[in-house]
Amino acid sequence: MTVSYHREGVVGVITIDNPPVNATSQAVRAGLMDAVGALSGDPDATAGVILCTGRTWIAGADISEFGKPPARPHLPDVIAAIEACAKPVVAALHGTALGGGLEVALGAHARIAAPGTRFGLPEVTLGLLPGAGGTQRLPRLIGLSAALDIITSARRIGADEALELGLVDHVAEGDPTAAAMEFAREIAGRAPRRTADRPPPRPDPALTDRMRAEFAKTAPGEIAQARAIDAVVEGLSVPFDQGIAQEREKFIELMASPQRAALIHAFFAERAVAHLPEFDDVAPRPVERIGVIGGGTMGAGIAASALLAGLDVTLVERDAEAAGKAASGVAKILDSSVTRGKLSADRRGAMLGDAFRAVCDDDALAQADLIIEAVFERIEVKDEVFARLDRVAKRGAVLATNTSYLDVNRIAGATRRPQDVIGLHFFSPAHVMRLLEVVPADQTAPDVVATGFALAKRLRKIAVRAGVCDGFIGNRILSHYRAAADAMVLDGASPCQIDRALTDFGFAMGPYAVSDLAGLDIGYLTRQRKAATRDPRDRVPVFADRLYELGRLGRKTGRGYYLYDEDSPKGRPDPDLAGLLQQVRAELGISPRLFDDDEIVARYMAAMVNEGARVVGDGIAARPLDVDVVLLNGYGFPRWRGGPMHWADARGLAAVVADIERFAAQDDHFWHVAPLLRELASKNRRFADLNQGKPS
């Protein structure tokens, strides 16, 4: 039984049992409706309690039902029935009360929470707005400004903040169910306090205008936040029921939007990446002690991320001075967590004092369960490090390389234990970026792969399995779409125009602003590395080499594709760049032409999707959804477009093929339709057909 009813003394108890997260599936909604009926009709019950079994209160509407025809009873009607009950109903909250789950709690007449309970309305992250009364009840309960903040930011708040805001009545000291039962007995027989009966807060046009302007700037193209603000604001000046009806209308409109489909695809894809049938039953090796070799930006970020996850970390650098520098780098990251209120000063002290050491002696790694190498990206250096690790690491330790391009098989071959070697490709800054590519080599043992996934979970990262090739999933695709962008610059587009067209499309940053941030030396060194094996027909971005030779390495030198100074720390166009580009084009005999924004986006996306299809076709990525997750979490792809493969499905694969064929008419070396893309398009199929598991 998903929802049951029984009575304890004067209290009718409604229990929801719908693992894993008690989502309000149709069965739960119907069960709740019946149970509220049972409570109302029970002559011996004068109060009610709603509680959930398992690890959490209701975590929201059942997302897997979205996109399907809605089935009765609808959640707003169920909540209206709870609120209308003539007997006071108490919600006993624990775990996460999210979305429709929080809305059910708002329909109850009192809320008692366990201390660790988290509350939130994450609907906008799914392209929706709270559609079961959240936009109407929350402002009545906690005021306009706090409600708008929770609804539009989707942030989760803890029990203490919820108490302060008046979202919950009490935070239980012990068992929340026992506390809710006691509270229910206290208020049994009294008239229920209905949130819907409270007066709405007064409108505040200055606040709402400011918020709208802010979202137009920070989340251009996204529609859910603005619609959520509309629903709240419109509800302030009409009767409650009318506000609910208007909210429902907007919810249904958003439910039908491509943004909702894309965001829910992203939600399930991020969970599906961890489910690879070949590793499902493999237990990971235990990991408590981590070793990190190399304390530069990447090594320090990895060390900090591991410390923040409660792991013990030993960082090895080549000498005492470098070790000292690395230790300050790690301390700086933890300090910023303290400043942002994410870490207490005491815990920071304990982490740096007891759980962390930066040394210059490999022997200190003898007890490490997993060692991650984050040294200079050159194969000879990696070979040497892994030969050393082979000598000091204990038996069964996982030896991981953080290389972003190099051959993990060759690195594994530098040891006598290739079964223990794996690629763990973190993204910079490693304590912030959520993506981790887990790259098994040919001989990597299955439990080492499982350990990579388990470590990611512990670090609160999203792990994606990637095969061995130059650049794995993400950087391999990046080098392809980046080449498409560079070709446009050679042919007449300006880096600024390309960046703007792509940020208008929704990317967090354009490729040239990214280059400036990362440093132009990185691309230069990669081109040098590949120069010997480069096809003579490949188009080299000579302008990028020129900037490098001029010492214009990007933000760190104050000048790259953009100019950086005190007045424009984020960069402004450099008037000299056009001359440099003109000169390069003249030297190459290219007559520049104009590009419009649509063509820029079409070329960039076609290159990304085409290489994504090759990566899936070659088995480097398990499914198209793995490509989407990598681009969404490591490369600033707009989440509300779902990732490149989802975007391609939405556009239609035949249209993408037609674009590529059109571009191939001018350059048939770079542009070739990937076999998988051609096959799917010819059969009128979609990439989503290759994603098994949850619907997208």
Q: How far is the CB of 15 from ligand 3H9 (least distance, A)?
A: 19
Q: How far is the CB of 462 from ligand 3H9 (least distance, A)?
A: 11
Single-letter amino acid code for the residue at 47: A
Nearer to ligand 3H9, 58 or 398 (CB): 58
Q: How far is the CB of 345 from ligand 3H9 (least distance, A)?
A: 28
Q: Which of 83, 103, 222, 373 is catalytic?
A: 103
Q: Is 599 a known active-site residue?
A: no
Q: Is 182 a known active-site residue?
A: no
β-bridge pairing 398-401 and 370-373: parallel
Sheet of 110-113: strands edge to edge? 3-8, 11-16, 47-52, 89-93, 110-113, 170-171
Residues 144 and 204: beta-carbon distance below 8 Å: yes
Q: Which residues bind ligand 3H9 (CB under 6 A)?
A: 20-21, 23, 59-64, 75, 96, 98-100, 103, 122-123, 126, 128, 130-132, 134, 271
Residues 645 and 624: beta-carbon distance below 8 Å: yes
d(CA 571, CA 512): 11
The torsion angle over the Cα atoms of residues 388, 390, 395 and 398, rounded to 10 degrees, is: 90
Closest CA to 3 of 11, 13, 15: 15
Nearer to ligand 3H9, 147 or 389 (CB): 147
Nearer to ligand 3H9, 62 or 491 (CB): 62
Backbone angles phi, psi at 22, to 5 degrees: 55, 35
Q: How far is the CB of 130 from ligand 3H9 (least distance, A)?
A: 4
Nearer to ligand 3H9, 61 or 371 (CB): 61
Q: Which of 123, 247, 317, 611 is catalytic?
A: 123
d(CA 46, CA 42): 8
Nearer to ligand 3H9, 115 or 693 (CB): 693
Nearer to ligand 3H9, 125 or 451 (CB): 125
Q: How far is the CB of 148 from ligand 3H9 (least distance, A)?
A: 16
Strands annotated E in 56-172: 89-93, 96-98, 110-113, 118-120, 157-158, 170-171
Residues 293 and 373: beta-carbon distance below 8 Å: yes
Residues 283 and 366: beta-carbon distance below 8 Å: no
Nearer to ligand 3H9, 75 or 438 (CB): 75
Residues 372 and 293: beta-carbon distance below 8 Å: yes
Residues 694 and 64: beta-carbon distance below 8 Å: yes
The partner residues of 437 in beta bridges, in order of sequence, read 425, 464
Nearer to ligand 3H9, 45 or 228 (CB): 228
The partner residues of 399 in beta bridges, in order of sequence, read 371, 421
DSSP string, 595-638: --HHHHHHHHHHHHHHHHHHHHHTTSBSSHHHHHHHHHHHS---
Buried b (16+ CB within 10 A) or exposed e, 31-63: bbbebbebbeebeebbbbbbbbeeebbbbbbbb
Q: Is 272 exposed, middle or buried (0-12, 13-18, 19+ CB in 10 A)?
A: buried
Q: How far is the CB of 105 from ligand 3H9 (least distance, A)?
A: 12
What's the Rg (C-alpha) of the chain? 28
Residues 564 and 558: beta-carbon distance below 8 Å: yes
- As given in the structure block, the two tokens for residue 52 are 């959930």
Nearer to ligand 3H9, 275 or 332 (CB): 275
Q: How far is the CB of 156 from ligand 3H9 (least distance, A)?
A: 8
Backbone angles phi, psi at 365, to 5 degrees: -95, 5
Q: How far is the CB of 164 from ligand 3H9 (least distance, A)?
A: 22
Q: How far is the CB of 100 from ligand 3H9 (least distance, A)?
A: 3
List residues with catalytic annotation: 103, 123
